[in-house]
A = this chain, B = another copy of it.
Amino acid sequence: MSLQAEARSTAESASAAIALHIDAAFDAVFSPSAPSVRLGESVLRLRPKHANGVREVRVRWSLHGAADAPLVIVQGGISADRRVAASGGEAGWWDDIVGEGRAIDLRCRRVLSIDWLAQADLGDALAVDSDDQADAIAGVLDVLGVRRAHAYVGASYGAMVGLAFAARHAHRLDRLVAIAGAHRAHPLSIAVRNIQREVVRLAARHGDVAAGLDLARRLAMTTYRGEREFAERCADVPRHVDGRFRFAEEGWLGAAGARFAQRFDADRFLSLSESIDLHAVAPEAVRASTTLVGIASDRVVPLADLCELQRRCGSAAALHVIDSRYGHDAFLKEPAQIGALLHEALEP
């Protein structure tokens, strides 16, 4: 069951970057068995970093959890969406962390999340920036009449946007938890993502975009996961099939690549991948109470960058390092460790 509603913002945003256009439609799912969610779309007036002037931008958002509870913004990687937690029979991408009785407990928290903006959402902007995503989230807070969020919890690209949010909208946030994301992308990771995008462009030039997305995702997977996991999962010897040898690695990553190519749009992938590489926040500008979480085996975000971020942070930031066989994806694969840290970081 769903119902429509309309929201009006009560005030213009305090941020110069955001003027608010009022046009939000809410869908809400209320069912006795399923947790509730409100899904909304708002057209905001934003000033994209890589464009001149104001653009009207449609932002899709969700609200999970207790209606009047302290609000926590939750954002994941570039392939995550606003369906953070399960609702209406559909799984959320972070159900292990966000839910009733979970580390971000929907019985006493309200969770806001947006679908990432892609470049195409910004009209003629040259790119979409983590700053733009942060401004969009601030704009949705305005729509909801929320002056200040209890916390922002972001992982991967979501952590980058969290740092941008804390730097640009300091007065809207009490606490920031940034997991496996830093103030800038590492040059080696930029190089690998650049190749991912070039593979998609090569395939697109020849009308074979799905094959390009597939390979780009396989390549991304080699950076998301840990060395140890590869060693453990890929013990099988290669077999000669259909004219060439097939390796265990190919089977595993090929399946992941094919799934991604089916569900993800190439232009969206290109613009969000580039957005990671354009991300740049001055750590000194981050003044919320900040918890940084690094993963020792992370091949995308080296610990050294999180140490630099902590050292330069505008507030005293705590840096926690978790051990995992899963590399960067530990934010998805180690809910016990991540949950314990979040529980501590979000306590009143």
Identify the A interface with B (CB < 8 A): 50, 126-127, 186-188, 190-192, 194-195, 198-199, 202-203, 205-206, 208, 211-212, 215, 218-219, 221-222, 227, 230-231, 233-235, 237-238, 240, 244-245, 247-250, 253, 274, 277-278, 280, 302
A194 touches B277 (CB 8 A): no
Q: In whole Å, how far is A122's beta carbon from the nearest beta carbon of chain B?
A: 14
Instruction: Point out the residues of chain B lying under 8 angstroms from A280, CB to CB.
Output: 237
Q: In whole Å, how far is A207's beta carbon from the nearest beta carbon of chain B?
A: 8
A247 touches B202 (CB 8 A): no
A202-B211, A208-B202, A219-B219 are contacts. A194–B247 as well, Cβ < 8 Å?
yes
Instruction: Point out the residues of chain B lying under 8 angstroms from A195, CB to CB.
Output: 215, 218-219, 222, 253
B222 touches A191 (CB 8 A): yes
B233 touches A194 (CB 8 A): no
Q: In whole Å, how far is A38's beta carbon from the nearest beta carbon of chain B?
A: 36
Q: In whole Å, how far is A292's beta carbon from the nearest beta carbon of chain B?
A: 19
B247 touches A186 (CB 8 A): no
A231 touches B187 (CB 8 A): yes
B240 touches A190 (CB 8 A): no
Picked from B127, B211, B230, the residue with its CB within 8 Å of the CB of A187 is B230
Instruction: Point out the residues of chain B lying under 8 angstroms from A186, CB to CB.
Output: 227, 230-231
A195-B219, A206-B206 are contacts. A302–B245 as well, Cβ < 8 Å?
no
Q: In whole Å, how far is A301's beta carbon from the nearest beta carbon of chain B?
A: 11
Picked from B190, B198, B247, B302, the residue with its CB within 8 Å of the CB of A277 is B247
B194 touches A278 (CB 8 A): no
Instruction: Point out the residues of chain B lying under 8 angstroms from A190, CB to CB.
Output: 234, 247, 249
Rounded to whole angstroms, the CA-CA distance of A302 and B226 in the bound complex is 12
A187 touches B245 (CB 8 A): no
Rounded to whole angstroms, the CA-CA distance of A187 and B250 in the bound complex is 10
Q: In whole Å, how far is A232's beta carbon from the nearest beta carbon of chain B?
A: 9
